[in-house]
Amino acid sequence: MDTGKSSIGLDGNIAAALGYPIGIIAIICLIIEKENRFVKFHALQSILLHVAFVVVAIALSVLGIVVGIAGAAASSAGGGGAIGGLFGMLIGLVWLVFVLLYLGALIYAAVKAYGGNKLN
């Protein structure tokens, strides 16, 4: 696929790839880009990936707070501290997997964009 030049002066595949790890470049490309649909596509996809990360991160944070409060309440009532700790460790593991998947998705998308491909 012909990626052409972007409006910010970079080759299209480089501008598209940089939009994934550096979100501000994606925002700039989405606003400024008028002709290069490849760059505009990847800029929008990058922004959506970052927004999805923020939404899920907020949900995991709320879940972690609820589990923490429930664990503290259970331990003060007597005997439920171990279960609260177990759920806390589980939330930590879910966070770790989530962040690793997010970073993997960013790298995968950036490599695909640099190669001139659209993600399907």
Length of the chain: 120
CA pair distance 34, 111, nearest whole angstrom? 23
CA-CA distance, 24 to 69, in Å (whole number)? 36
- Say yes or no to pLDDT of 78 above 80: no
Place of tokens 């998308």: 109
Q: How far apart are the first and last CA of the chain?
A: 14
96-116 pLDDT per residue, tens: 999 999 999 999 999 999 998
Name the β-bridge partners of 45.
none
Q: What is the pLDDT of residue 83?
A: 66
Question: What pTM did the predictor assign?
Answer: 0.82
Q: Which distant-in-sequence residues (6+ apart) come within 8 Å of 78 by Cβ? A: none
**3 state SS of 29:** helix
pLDDT digits (tens, 9 = 90+) for 21-50: 998 999 998 999 888 888 999 999 999 999
Whose structure tokens read 């989405």?
30
- Calculate the average pLDDT of the chain: 86
Q: What pLDDT sits at residue 43?
A: 93
| 100's tokens | 């690793």
Q: So where are the chain's domains?
A: 12-114
